[in-house]
Amino acid sequence: MNIDAIQRGIVLDHISAGRGMDIYRALHLDELSCSVAIIRNVKSPAMGKKDIIKIDEDIDIDLDVLGFLDPGITVNIIEDGVIVEKKHLALPHRLTGILQCRNPRCITVQEKSLQQIFLLKDAERHIYRCYYCDAEQK
């Protein structure tokens, strides 16, 4: 298999095997007019297998969404065929507009204009708490 290097764009590396399509959907990459390559189950000495996504354009990516979906992802920014910046992600401490509170009595359920805000409670177990009602969510 031969997938060309990109000259300017973004490479999402170290995606947990099988999560590439979830990331593709969450970032709405299907709406882009540029080339996007999803490479699944690539052999990796560190991870066993991993997925990679190559985006042939420099776009804004929501790093909080990426960090929430798969905190081990590496974001590589490519210019002139060379990595100019490498970002290692982790679980974000604050999520805004990504999760929805499951508590039916939470103010965000009644007041749709309020932003859904969650704060990281337990990074090891990936547990967040609603900013408004303190309900837990994984």
User: Model-level pTM?
Assistant: 0.83
Distance, CA of 33 to CA of 23 (rounded, Å): 17
DSSP result, 1-62: ---PPPSEEEEEEEEETT-HHHHHHHTTGGG-SS-EEEEEEEEETTTEEEEEEEESS-----
Mean confidence (pLDDT) of the chain: 91
pLDDT of residue 1: 57
**Over the stretch 29-75, which tens digit does the pLDDT of each residue have?**
999 989 899 999 999 898 899 999 999 998 899 899 999 999 999 99
Boundaries of every domain in the chain: 8-88, 94-137
The confidence score (pLDDT) of residue 2 equals: 60
CATH of domain 94-137: 2.30.30.20
Domain 8-88 has CATH 3.30.70.580: no
Cβ of 67: how many Cβ atoms within 10 Å?
20
